[in-house]
Each structure stands twice: as C-alpha cells, then as structure tokens.
Amino acid sequence: MFSGPSSPHPEPRRRRRGVLVAVLLVAVVAAGAAGWFLRRSADGEPPAAAPHGAPAPSHAPTGHGAGHAPSGHARLTGKVVLLDPGHNLRNRDHTAKIARPVDVGNARKECDTTGTSTDDGYAEASYTLDVARRARELLHKEGAKVVFTQDGDRPYGPCVDERAALGNSAHADAAVSVHADGSAVGNRGFHVILPARVTAGKADTSAIVAPSRALGTQLAARFGAVTGSAPSNYLGDGTGLDVRSDLGGLNLSKVPKVFIECGNMRDPKDAAQLTDPQWRQKAARGIAEGITDFLED
C-alpha cells in the first residue's frame, strides 16, 4: 500500500530508492525510443502507423505550387514543373469566349476548345485534370515545385497563349500538357507532340526544340513502360513522337515543353483504359517518371 506524505508511517528508504530507479529506467527507455523514431524519420523511412481511429496527417495542397514535403531521397528539389491539364470542363458553358482567336505566332487560333470524350461521355477535360493531379502528387514527393495552368478553378480556359505564358513566368524546367486524342476507331496508342522550329511573330522555339525533344523522348519511353500502352499506330511511325507547328501552347513556350496524348478516347479499347482509375494512376506515374528522368540527365 502506498503511503502518502501525511501518513504516520512513511515508506522505508530502500523502497523509495527502488521507485526512483524504476522511474529513471522508464525515462531512459522513452528517450531512446524517441531518438530511434527521429533517426528513422530523418532517414526517409515511414513512421509507424497511427493508432486506429487517430486522424491521419493532412497533406492537402494549398495552391497551384504547393503540396507534400519532399521525401528524404527527393531528386527534384529546386526544380519547377508546369503541368497543363488540357481543356477545361467548363469550356462547354463559354463557347463564345473560347472560340475567340488568339495569336500563336504563325497563325491565329481559338482561345481553347472543349476537347473530346469517350462514347459514354467521359470528358477529356475530366481525364486530363485527374491525371495531372495524380502526377503532381508524385512529383511533389520527389521535391519538385509543380505549377498548374488550371486546377478546376477557372470559369473556362485558360487560352492557349496564357497556358504557354504561365510556364514561361514560372521559369519551368519542364512543362507537359496532358491530353487524350479523339481519332477514329482502330487508331490506338499514345503519342508525344514536340514543338517544331517556329520563328514568327511572338513565337520563337529555336532554344527549346532540342531540350523539348529530349523531354518528349524520355516521356514516351517511361509512359510506354509504365502503362504497357503501345506508341500510336496512326502517328509518329511507331516512335510515339510527332512534331507540330500549329499549337500555341508549344509555339509560345520559352521553356522545354511537350504535349502527351495518352490514348484515343474514341476507340473502345483505349477508352477502357482511359476510364480506369488504376490505369490513370499508371499514366500519371509514367508522366512523372519521364519528367524526372529528363530533369536528372
């Protein structure tokens, strides 16, 4: 029985020493465990799971360039990546505004378009935003700062010239515009669109043609390997690469930039992949790893 301070029979001295030793031992063990946990976290290993019912730590992004803290082995610390989710689901509600022409250097083209969709109505704009968000999470874990052209937070667009300007103003080390194609049934596979050499009006791609090709080559290789998808059977002669001079998002870019058409939404077999969340995670990983390969070279 414990005897409190007011007890007329105080605890023997030897028992007090035993209690003190036990307390010191508990403190030493606790300090050692805390040190092990901190060393484990510092080495990049995940901490033990929280007890059942405890709230998980929040990692929600707070802005276009915000996100997870990088892992202990982050490879892209200090790098800036622009992700450009193609089109915008709300474009269909602003057809007059997205139809207005903008200067793309060697021509005038529509501000933006509504994009395509699968036969059952899954919109390209929904696909591109979902995959871009998944890729952003993966790139954040590698330490990159990721800038979006739109995150479902704009009434329409942005226009193609602004999409290029956003990458330029961010001084992006790499920029990728995410799309899915709307070609004929039987046309399958992915392709990466590279900028042609364009020097006209506001456009001058001279400095980005070579690095953009390097980016596109890495992206095509990783995307195919991760997703298991074959390069396009209707563009690029089996290389998965296509060069174009009519896209404002490429013509007006001052940073290495490519487009990736992840598959053909109008082909049933490709559409089955594009609408599968597990496949979209693979697509995001292929994009993120392709960008990482390029930036590590």
- Active site residues per annotation: 261
Q: How far is CA 126 from the centre of its chain?
A: 15
The one-letter code for the residue type at 184 is A
Structure tokens at 83: 């992700």
Is 246 in contact with 109 (CB distance < 8 Å)?
yes
- The strand pair at 257-264 and 191-195 is best described as antiparallel
203, 195 Cβ separation under 8 angstroms: no
| CA distance linking residue 244 with residue 257, whole number of Å | 12
The token pair that represents 216 in the structure block? 């596109």
Is 109 in contact with 102 (CB distance < 8 Å)?
A: yes
Cβ atoms 259, 219 nearer than 8 A: no
* Distance of alpha carbon 13 from the chain centroid: 66
Strand-strand pairing, 108-110 and 203-204: unpaired
* Packing angle of the helix pair 209-227, 277-296 (nearest 10 deg): 140
Distance from C-alpha of 276 to C-alpha of 146, rounded to nearest angstrom:
25
* Distances, alpha carbon 242 to alpha carbons 35, 192, 258, 264, in Å: 54, 6, 10, 15
